[in-house]
Amino acid sequence: MASLKQLAEQKEKFVGGHRACAGCAATIAARMVLMAAEQPVVVGAATGCLEVISTIYPYSAWTVPYIHNAFENVAATMSGVEAAYVALKKKGAIKKDLRFIAFGGDGGTYDIGLQSLSGMIERRHRVLYVCYNNEAYMNTGIQRSSATPRGAHTTTSPAGTEIPGKMQSRKNLTEIIIAHEPAYAAQATIGYWNDLVTKVRKALDADGPAFINIYSPCRLGWAYVPEKTVKVSKLAVETCVWPLYEYENGKYRITMKPKEKKPITEFLNLQGRFGHLFKWHDDAPIKEFQTEVDMIWERLLKRSAE
């Protein structure tokens, strides 16, 4: 268990003054991840919201060594950095015990960066890959990604009289990563800071590739007031829209089980991107989403033997 006092007392590795929207969960996630790191870290970030708002020349919100690269290849970049570190450490040219973290949004992770992420894990690079998952391409115009959930309104899956938002289910990327048998994999969200920090520390201590999928509400693309970011992230867990669990040593473990599983309507109601579903001519889209959430949750309960 992490100590809140210890976290608060340490020097910040991701500082304020950046250009993020008020209520941005991606910046909260980055700050929490770096606060959890107990060793010196080298960070890479794919092009996306987090990079755009934090590195506007000549300023940077990062106080650690930081590499910005293209949208699709942060996993490949950090693979090379980690490989160089291993080689130099063998030669005695580096003495420090370093850790390596790659950040990517869902567009750069679920979609165009999946190939390099898969390769990073298959080659067993000791890198923690963090996906800050805001469920769309937010900094380029709120276009749908394969992380966008069923029924969400985006600029490329617009809700109208014919279609109630995105028609397809979102990709279950965490399970795709688990199929690679990483050293560690987990889902987290900023609403449960201790759970997130504990998972980051486990991931950084793991002897091999690690992956954490952090649910990161976007007040712009999800259309809610900025002060509701933490509430939205907690409701995602309480409704089982975003289960918190980890995969380690071949075993699943649910790390946060709701005392009372709430209906997804409580989660959907807070967000403008789902507002049209409550005005639709029938409740089929909401029922389909609820069925999908229930199925995934029940499957997870079986896999974790609970």
pLDDT tens readout for residues 94-121? 999 999 999 999 999 999 999 999 999 9
Mean pLDDT of 173-187: 98
pLDDT band, very low/low/confident/very high, at 9 (cuts 50, 70, 90): confident
How many distinct structural domains can be found in the chain? 1
Say which residue, 194 or 4, is predicted with more confidence.
194
Mean pLDDT of 18-32: 97
pLDDT, tens digit, 9 for 90 and up, residues 55-91: 999 999 999 999 999 999 999 999 999 999 999 999 9
pLDDT band, very low/low/confident/very high, at 306 (cuts 50, 70, 90): low
Mean pLDDT of 1-16: 83
**Rounded to 5°, angle at Cα 200 from 194 and 205:** 130
CA distance 141 to 147: 15
Q: Which residue in 178, 193, 165 sits closest to 279, CA to CA?
A: 165
Using CB atoms within 10 Å of the CB of residue 217, give its burial: 0 to 12 exposed, 13 to 18 middle, 19+ buried: buried
The CA radius of gyration of the chain, in Å to the nearest whole number, is: 19
> Under a CB-based contact definition with an 8 Å cutoff, are residues 150 and 290 in contact?
no
pLDDT value for 1? 61
pLDDT value for 146? 98
Helix, strand, coil tally for the chain in percent (to 5): 40, 15, 45
Percent of the residues in the chain that have a pLDDT greater than 90, as a whole number: 95
What value does the mean pLDDT of the chain take?
96
pLDDT value for 3? 75
> Under a CB-based contact definition with an 8 Å cutoff, are residues 263 and 239 in contact?
yes
Contacts of 4 (CB under 8 A, 6+ apart): 193, 194
pLDDT at 49 over 80: yes
For the chain, first and last CA: distance in Å? 22
Using CB atoms within 10 Å of the CB of residue 90, give its burial: 0 to 12 exposed, 13 to 18 middle, 19+ buried: exposed
Mean pLDDT of 24-53: 97
CA distance 215 to 134: 6
pLDDT value for 8? 77
CATH code of the domain covering residue 175: 3.40.50.970
> Under a CB-based contact definition with an 8 Å cutoff, are residues 304 and 256 in contact?
no
Quote the domain boundaries for residue 50. Answer: 4-303
pLDDT band, very low/low/confident/very high, at 7 (cuts 50, 70, 90): confident
Token match 């929490």: residue?
A: 32
> Under a CB-based contact definition with an 8 Å cutoff, are residues 1 and 198 in contact?
yes
pLDDT, tens digit, 9 for 90 and up, residues 268-295: 999 999 999 999 999 999 999 999 999 9
